[in-house]
Structure 1
Amino acid sequence: MNHNTPLSHSPRPLRHLSHVQRRVLTTAQLRANGVTAAETNEQCRPGGPWQQFLPGVYLLHPGPPTSEERLHAVLMFAARSPAQPVPAIPVQPGAEDPHAAQPYTDVLITGLAALTLHGFTSAPPLLSLDKIDVMVPRLRRLRSTGCVRIVRTPSLPAPSYVTGVPVAPVPRALADAVAELSDANAVRRLLTEAVRAGHCEPAAVVRELTQARLLSRPHVVDAVDSLLAEGRSIAEDRLYRMVGEHGLPDPVWNVDLRLPGGPHLGGLDAYWPEQAVAVELDTRAPRQDEDALWSEYARKREHLERLGITVVYITPKKLRDSMEQQATVVRTALMASNDRDPAAYVVVLPR
C-alpha cells in the first residue's frame, strides 16, 4: 500500500493531495480539502505515508522534512492565519512562484535560521539547527515545542522575504541569535560578518543588542567592541574611496586640531586646511552613554564652527548607500569656503 492507494474505509482516494508542490499542510488545510480527522490519523499511523510534524501540521510523506518544509511547518504552526488551503486541483510544475511571499500573518523567522536565510556563511545550515526561532506578538498563546522556539516581541518589525519566507531584519535576527549563544567566537563571527559583508551597520546591531539587554554579558561586550572597530575601519576605507573616486582634493588624514599654545580642539578624520573644511565619521553606537557622546560631538562642532571651520558629519550608512551624494556635500563645503571669512589659525597635528 502506498500513499496513492485509497484507504479501505475512505469514501474516496487522497491522491488529489499527492501533487501539491509543498507537501506540508495544516489540519485546517486538510479539512478544507475534504480530509477528515479519521483519514488523517489513518495516514499518520506507524509506518504510514504521512506524519505529524508539529501540533496541527503534517508532512505528506514519511521521510525527514527538507529545510524548506521545516521552515514552512514552523510558520504554519505559529501563524495567526495559516497559509491558504491548497487547491484540490493539482498544482502543475512552474505554476507557483517558489519565491512569492506566503500569506503568513504575525510571524517571522528570526535568530540563526534567519541569518542563514540572509546568506550568513558563519550561520549553520538550516537542517543542522535543532531549533528554529519564530517571532510572534507578545500576547500570542503559543509554547515552544519540537523544533520551534517561540520568541515574543511587543511589535513585529517589517519582514524581509527570502524565497517566500518572512524573515526578521538582520539586526533583530542577530540579537535573537546572540541571546541563545554562549560561544564568544561564534558571537564575534556573526557580528563581524554582519558588518564586513554589508548586511547592516554597527549602530543598528548595537541598538538591538541594547534593547535586548544583552550588553551585560561580557562575551557580547567583547564582540561589540570588535564589531565597532571593524565598522570604523570599513567606514574609513569608504571615506578614502569617496575622496579618490569622486575627484575631491586630497585632505590631511586623521589629525588633531589645537589652538596655538591653547587647548585641544578635537580629532578629525579628514581636514582641508586651505578651505578650513573637516569631515568626521559619526560612528557613535547607541549605548547608554549616547546622549553624553552626542553632547560631546555637538560641543566640538560648535567650537570649531565658531573658529570658522566647517564640519561635515557623515555616517557609515550614508557612505555606503549614497557615497556620491556625500561627496557632493563635501565639494560644496570646499567651494563655499571662498565666500566665508578666513578661519582662525589652528595647529594641525597627526592623530
Structure 2
Amino acid sequence: MTQNTPLSPASSLSPLFTRPPHHLQAVAHRVLSAAQLRARGVSAAQTSAHCLPGGPWQHLLPGVHLLHPGPPSGHERLHGALLYAGRPPVSARRTPPQQPDDGFGEAMVTGLAALALYGFASVPDLEELHRIDVLVPRTRRLRSTRFVEVVRTAALPAPVRRAGVPAAPVERALADAVAGLGEAEDVTRLLTEAVRAGHCEPGAVVRELSAAKLLGRPAVAGAVDALLAEGRAVAEERLYAMVREHGLPEPLWNVELRLPGGPELGGVDAYWPDLAVAVELDTRAPRFGPPSQGRRGGNRGPDRSEDPQWSAYAAKRERLERLGVTVVHLTPGKLREAMDQQATVVRTALMAADDREPAAYLIVLPR
C-alpha cells in the first residue's frame, strides 16, 4: 500500500505488516486518522468493522487507528499522538510549500518525547516512555487521553523536524519536561546534558523556565545553578579551543585588573597585557525579563536595559576602554556557532594594538 492508493475492503481485512519495520515512512502508513482513511476510500463502517476484537486493526486514540493488531511501537504512538492533537487534513485546504499535509496540523511533540528525538541520553527511549506531550494552540478544545498529554500555549514556537515529525525547540521541550519532574536530580541531569552536549545555551533555557514560572520550584532552583556552572565551563573550553586552534597568542587566563593603588576594575576571561586586549565571556542567564518566542509571543531576547548583570558588564567595559583596554565581548552561542568568525574578531583587535594610544598601566592578579 502506498499513501496515495485507496484501501479496498478486501485488501484491508488482514494486517498490512506482521512485523512492522521501524521506518518513519512505513509508520505513516500504519497509523492513520479517520479523515485519512476516508480520503483513501475506507468508510467509517469499514473502519469500525476492522477494529472489532480479533480484527486486523485497532483504535489507538480517538479518531486515530493502528493498522495492525499488535502493540504499537514508540514511533507509532508518537505519530498517533500528533494525529490526535493535529487538525485532520482538509481536501479543500491547500498545503503551503515545505509544510507537508501529514495530519499533524500545528501540533508538535514536546517534553521528554521531544528530547528523546533530540538524542538526550538521560531520557528514556520512545519505546519506554509512558506519556507523550504534544504542544497545541491554547484555543484548541482537546483533552489529554491515554498516553497523550496535551500542553497548551498562547503562541506556538517554530517547530524543528526531528525523525520526520515536528518537535518543539530544545529549550521549550526542556521546560515542558521539567514541569513534569519532581526530583532535583532528574532536573539537573536534563539541564546539564542540554548544555554539555551543545543542544542549547543556558540563557535560553532559563528564560523558558522563567516564562513557565518554574524557577521557584525547589527542584529547579539548584538545577539552574548547576546549569549555569556547566554553561560557564563549556564556554571557557570553547574559548581555550579557539585560541589554540586558530593560532592566537596565549593570553593570561581568568585575571583581575586594577589600577596601581586604585580600585579593582573587574575580572576578564583572557588578557593580553602587552597589547591591552581583553576578552570577556557573557555567560549571563537572567532569571527575569521577556520570555523567548513561542510562549507569550515575544520575539526579542532579554531587555538589557532591565538587566543589572548587563549594566555591570557595560560599566566595567566602559571603565577599561577609558584606560585604553580593548574589550572583546563574546557569547557562548557565537563561540559555538561561528568560532572562526570570533577568532578573526579577536585577532583583529590584537593586530590593531599598535595603532592605538598606549594603555594605562594595570596590575594583573589571578582571579
TM-score normalised by L of structure 1: 0.88
Distance, in Å, in 1 between the alignment partners of 2:261 and 2:144 is 66
Alignment partner, residue 361 of structure 2: 345
CA distances 1:188-223 after superposition (whole Å, capped 9, x unpaired): 111111111111111111111111111001111111
- Corresponding residue for 2:44? 37
Matched ranges for 1:167-316 at <5 A: 167-288=167-288, 291-316=307-332
Q: Does 1:26 align with 2:33?
A: yes
- Does the Cα contact within 8 Å between 1:57 and 1:76 map onto a contact in 2? yes
CA gap 1:126/1:236 in 2 versus in 1, 3 angstroms: same
Structure 2 CA distance for aligned equivalents of residues 57 and 64 of structure 1: 14
2:58 alignment partner, one of 51, 56, 78: 51
Q: Which residue in 2 is equivalent to 1:159?
A: 159
Q: 1:313 offset after TM fit, Å?
A: 0.7
What displacement does 1:233 show?
A: 0.7
Conserved 8 A contact 1:101-1:161 = no
Find the residue that maps to 2:307 and give its secondary structure: helix
User: Residues of 1 paired with 2:43 and 2:274: CA distance?
Assistant: 83
Mean alpha-carbon deviation: is it higher for 286-295 or for 333-342?
Answer: 286-295
Is 1:133–2:149 an aligned residue pair? no
The gaps in structure 1 that reach 5 residues or longer are 1-10, 85-99
- Counterpart of 1:64 (choices 52, 68, 71) is 71
Q: Deviations over 1:304-349 (max 9, x none)?
A: 1111111001001111111111111111111111111111111111
8 Å CA contact retained: 2:83, 2:104: yes
How many pairs align?
326
CA deviations 1:227-279 (Å, max 9, x no partner) are 11111111111111111111111111110011111111000100011111100
Identity %: 65
Q: CA deviation at 1:65?
A: 0.5
Change in Cα spacing, 1:12 to 1:162, as seen in structure 2 (3 Å) is closer
> In structure 2, what is the Cα distance between the partners aligned to 1:334 and 1:32?
66
What corresponds to 1:144 in structure 2? 144
Alpha-carbon distance in 2 for matches of 1:310, 1:17: 74
Counterpart in 2 of 1:15?
Answer: 12
TM-superposed deviation, 1:81: 3.4
Contact 2:279 2:330 in 1 (8 A): yes
In 2, Cα distance between equivalents of 1:60 and 1:237: 50
- Find the structure with the greater CA-based Rg: 1
- In 1, Cα distance between equivalents of 2:351 and 2:103: 53
| Cα distance in structure 1, aligned partners of 2:232 and 2:120 | 21
Quote the RMSD (CA, aligned, Å): 2.0
1:15 Cα offset (Å):
3.1
AA matched with 1:324: D
Q: Is the 8 A contact 1:243 1:250 kept in 2?
A: yes
CA distance in 2, matches of 1:57, 1:166: 18
Cα deviation, 1:136-174, whole Å, max 9, x if unaligned, reads 011111111111100111111111112211111111100
In 2, distance between residues paired with 1:313 and 1:214? 30
User: Shift of the alpha carbon at 1:83?
Assistant: 9.1
Q: Secondary structure at the match of 1:249?
A: coil
Q: 1:130 to 1:206 in 2, by over 3 A?
A: same
Q: Distance in 2 between matches of 1:82 and 1:132?
A: 22
Give the Cα separation in 2 of the matches to 1:340 and 1:116.
52
In the other structure, the counterpart of 2:300 is none
Separation in structure 1 between the aligned mates of residue 247 and residue 43 of structure 2, nearest angstrom: 72
How many Å apart are 1:104 and its aligned residue?
A: 2.6
The CA deviation at 1:27 is 1.3
Residue type of the partner of 1:340? R
Q: Alpha carbons of 1:101 and 1:251: their partners in 2 closer, same or farther (altered >3 Å)?
A: farther
Does the CA contact (< 8 Å) of 2:16 and 2:68 recur in 1? Answer: no
Closer, same or farther: CA 12–42 of 1 in aligned 2, 3 Å: closer
Q: Does the 8 Å CA contact 2:13/2:56 hold for their aligned counterparts?
A: no
Describe the shift of the 1:76–1:12 C-alpha distance in structure 2 as closer, same or farther (beyond 3 A).
closer
Return the alpha-carbon distance in structure 2 between the equivalents of residues 15 and 42 of structure 1: 11
State how far apart, in whole Å, the 2-side matches of 1:150 and 1:235 are.
36
The residue type paired with residue 196 of structure 1 is R
3-state DSSP of counterpart to 2:348: helix
Structure 2 partner of 1:319: 335
Indicate the SS of the match to 2:249.
Answer: coil
SS where residue 127 of structure 1 aligns?
Answer: coil
Moved over 6 A (4+): none
